[in-house]
Amino acid sequence: MTKKIKVGVLGATGNVGQRFVQALSDHPWFELTALGASSRSAGKAYADAADWKLGREIPKSVADIEVSEINPKYIDADVVFSALPADLAKTTEPEFAKEGFVVASNAAAMRMEKDVPLTIPEVNPDHLALIDIQKKNRKWDGCIITNPNCSTIVMAMTLKPLEQFGLRNVNVATMQAISGAGYNGVYAMAIYDNVVPYIGGEEEKMETEILKIFGKFDGTKVKCADFKVSASCHRVPVIDGHTEAFWVDMEKNPTPEEVKNAFKTFDPKLSDLPTEPEFPIIVCEGPDRPQPRLDREMGGGMSVSVGRIREGIRYVALGHNTIRGAAGASVLNVELMHKKGYI
């Protein structure tokens, strides 16, 4: 590739926004040219506006970029990655799409719109065809593509290799990291020495988004899958990494060994996208794995780890919620769009 694609980040100072900046600052295909944030940050150098949380220095290539207001006329980019809260995303993202931007959104606002792809490249790349329908329906020069909720992504990555066995019922209990609520989302006194057995809207997202992701695209629309999902979501005192325990009922009743082999041989063939991990699913052999502290950084945070595969079928999965479950997933979507000629 000779000329890089100009990209920006909306909500660049927040937790997921910082992950976007980290992923894009030295990307081989993309040039990070614009950073958008609230009015209190606009006009400042990014290094002054962002209270950097990632444990490493702000990348030098972006430290001096002046933060812009979140407005299409101030953002110099062809693609924008949105880390905006859902209420702001609902109005702002369409404004950017109307003005010709490709909007790659991590927000929930547009995920379930019928003409908006809810995409995981390893799972449903054919849903990108909704982009052409979206542009026609809405008379946009640009478009919006979304990635799922962080816990849904981990679930979908593990269910895709099992789809061959005929999915019928999926029960999942999550143990979700506090970073999933944003930097100020869970007060220390609320989570320390505690488990919070409720995350607002999370169970509904897991139970509905997965059916769109596994739905069949018929050339005009996606018909949602008809297997059943029941989720129970919990916040635990872990910084990064969502752990999920599954009970999966399948038509062909595979053995644990067949399930393990399906995970090990899962190869979505994405054509060497820069953010694509070498192994999308990593099978942990130990009886007490995966664990967030040991396994969340696998594949640069883009691999999903699985273990404890037992009769039933029962297993445990783990994914890095702000990389695989957020910024990294969105970057991978845009890489696939470029590879497929949508950008």
Catalytically annotated residues: 150, 242
As beta bridge partners, residue 321 has none
Rounded to 5 degrees, what are φ and ψ at 114?
A: -65, -30
DSSP letter, residue 334: H
Q: Are 150 and 297 in contact (CB under 8 A)?
A: no
Cα gap 177→44, rounded to integer Å: 31
- Burial of residue 183 (number of CB atoms within 10 Å: 0-12, 13-18, 19+): middle
* Residues 329 and 143: beta-carbon distance below 8 Å: no
User: What secondary structure letter does DSSP report for 116?
Assistant: S
Q: What is the C-alpha separation between 113 and 46, in angstroms, rounded?
A: 33
Integer angstrom CA distances of residue 285 from 95, 116, 277, 290: 48, 38, 19, 9
